[in-house]
Structure 1
């Protein structure tokens, strides 16, 4: 069966750069960073007080956009069983549906689905405050032997629903009566590209006409932030330089934690044209790869080369057909070296001329939420025919031989770009999109 063309008809995002597409693109135009001193956590107690917080998102029903009354009632009722990551994911999806003009009752529920990426979601410590206190004995020690009798009854019976990574896709499907394919992908930063790729293939093979595809993630969280500072190469320190994400720059200090979610409304070309939808781009290729060494350690450069080669093969293009690459650009030393090595091997002689942008320089690492937001950034840039520069980039790292620019560059609105993301464990995903 001949595969169907898959187009993008709606976009929604929640990020440190705001909650609407206008404020998002204005930040790129003005070179405004969403990384500031952290407010949701005690910055003085952290190795660095800087983060990319989605400050405008409060979890209020108004944050979900102009939803109809039925969806509004359902969302408001279920807010209490959604952690912040899930709430952001649902809000981004609702905004993508609204942006694409796909309202309730205007589609076949059996032919519409949801595919969403996320990080693993961590419980807030306060979920277990009362339960833990109930198990403290007379010596002030926690007694696990009485957990079942005294502790467990103090835990909210619905607490687990707030943190399951399949819940964004579940809630979005229920709120919008989408009964078609539903899937959840948890591959850290590679989740976004994997979710978009799975959505593209689901529509292309005829199993759905419409898919809401997105991802949500955070590194700004009472527990997750502690894990990040223990495990990830984060910029540490209190001076201003430690509050800047500087991908591929010689003076980079490390990654900056952040939070956010993005969603795209994907449709078959036939479905979009039949309803008169405005087409924003076409997803033409996808890939997901893992690179490993013989000792089972991750080989990120190999994963990147494989992902880029596969996405081009899937899209039927060559490296020279790519207009720009939206890079992972974490801003940490080894990660950027690995990415530069992989892209240099893939690009060959064109490495000096291929435009590369790293949008995490504006908002930090949003975990699984980064990838779709970066795709939205490239789509908006192509609409304006102007690719934003990588914020703060001034001193090239000689080990990163990429064409990264601090200033904006003119690009074609109908060109092709590839969005690349990868995890520390060596999982890489890439998506190729053609503008209109």
Structure 2
């Protein structure tokens, strides 16, 4: 049975912070012009790292102007709150404020008690300098004495330090700053966070528990300790003379992912609410899916996870009347996870072939990670915004895809003349096998 206008969820506002710029237009222009956000690190020391390049959102400085047009009172509130916001949280809040402004959010048109926030975020690591004075106070002749920590070390730590790093704080700050009193939730699923957050938002709105939600995700893998951990636990791309060539999704020569940072947010509303206030509608979320597949599933658990969520969004779209009940599935394009990791790309490409068949039968497949690297929890939302901007026009090609790996049978986009179609499916997965997929269409 087709969903009612109160159950259908549409997108009415967009905000983004990315290595290619802090507006949707800058992001899309950068992707279409084959620009790269990958360059030498400026934010972190590289002495202990095997890499010296990543995709930093350098246009985001944390200045209040990065949050978009704000009333003076809100400007003062956010500036004061920035004392307990790390960079990851700042980017998330800024993306949300940009989405609210872009969506024409006027408190008089929204019921505060039915307007809330669902935000994706990874666990956030504290910066070492938070503890530097405390550690120094407990260190004698180069030896740290933990027995002194309670008396001498802990008093040197800012008592509010934890508030700067809690993954529920983006949703908390956004709700408090804008007096959004409705449902509030935080999702921590690494790269799958954006898809899972949108899924929760669609469920919340469609069951009548909210009229509107700010939905987003933020992530930074450019961090003194996080980058070090990633280099020890994951396959990162080796430095190259030209760092813009490091991330090579699905290419035969790829050797790993590149760390990045950024955030994205959408203002989502029931179709009924959006139409009532005369909002501009940029897209509709027609289906979401998630899956978790671990090593017990066999040699290629990621392949199973990707296939599960692809089949899941197709099944959900058919059940809610957004797709034909049988026959070929019509999807404009697929925005792949495209990590540039050898095994993950192979599994993802195989899953796309499992579900859609040979490349000639598949929707066009693209990914932004060749330009942006892996933004972690922020990846999915930034990628969805990029694809949303393309609908009804042309796609951007996969950067650095010079020779498609024979183990990746996909309809890869390698030029600027491939139509994006009227809808897309975005895919993301974590190293632990948690996958998410979201199917978004032009306004119907």
Is 1:429 aligned to residue 436 of structure 2? Answer: yes
The answer for the alignment partner of 1:407 in structure 2 is 415
Higher mean C-alpha deviation, range 332-341 or range 43-52: 43-52
Note the C-alpha offset of 1:280: 0.3
Is 1:288 aligned to residue 290 of structure 2? Answer: yes
Answer whether contact 1:134 1:151 (CA < 8 A) is retained.
yes
Note the C-alpha offset of 1:105: 3.8
Higher mean C-alpha deviation, range 118-127 or range 241-250: 241-250
How many Å separate the matches in 1 of 2:142 and 2:246?
43
Aligned pairs (5 A) from 1:187-202: 187-202=189-204
Alignment: residue pair count: 433
How many Å separate the matches in 2 of 1:168 and 1:301?
32
How many Å separate the matches in 2 of 1:242 and 1:233?
17
Note the C-alpha offset of 1:412: 5.7
Deviations 1:341-384 (A, max 9, x none): 2111111245654200011111100001010111100111115x
Answer whether contact 1:298 1:426 (CA < 8 A) is retained.
no
Higher mean C-alpha deviation, range 338-347 or range 290-299: 290-299
Structure 1 residues 241, 169: CA separation in 2 closer, same or farther (over 3 Å shift)? closer
Note the C-alpha offset of 1:171: 0.2
RMSD, matched Cα? 1.8
Answer whether contact 1:49 1:238 (CA < 8 A) is retained.
no
How many Å separate the matches in 2 of 1:197 and 1:67?
29
Note the C-alpha offset of 1:225: 0.6
How many Å separate the matches in 2 of 1:227 and 1:184?
23
Higher mean C-alpha deviation, range 120-129 or range 293-302: 293-302
Higher mean C-alpha deviation, range 286-295 or range 264-273: 286-295
SS in 2 for 1:386: coil
Q: Equivalent of 2:369, from 339, 342, 360?
A: 360
Normalized against structure 2, the TM-score is what?
A: 0.94
Answer whether contact 1:291 1:301 (CA < 8 A) is retained.
no
Deviations 1:404-428 (A, max 9, x none): 1221234265x22100000111010
Note the C-alpha offset of 1:295: 7.6
Which residues of structure 1 form unaligned runs of 5+?
none
How many Å separate the matches in 1 of 2:138 and 2:390?
55
Note the C-alpha offset of 1:103: 2.8
The answer for the alignment partner of 2:129 in structure 1 is 126
The answer for the alignment partner of 1:116 in structure 2 is 119
How many Å separate the matches in 1 of 2:307 and 2:263?
27
Deviations 1:130-167 (A, max 9, x none): 11111113x43111111111111111000000000000
Answer whether contact 2:53 2:243 (CA < 8 A) is retained.
no
How many Å separate the matches in 2 of 1:25 and 1:140?
51
The answer for the alignment partner of 2:265 in structure 1 is 263
Which residues of structure 2 form unaligned runs of 5+?
none
Answer whether contact 1:48 1:242 (CA < 8 A) is retained.
no
Normalized against structure 1, the TM-score is what?
A: 0.95
Answer whether contact 2:391 2:423 (CA < 8 A) is retained.
no
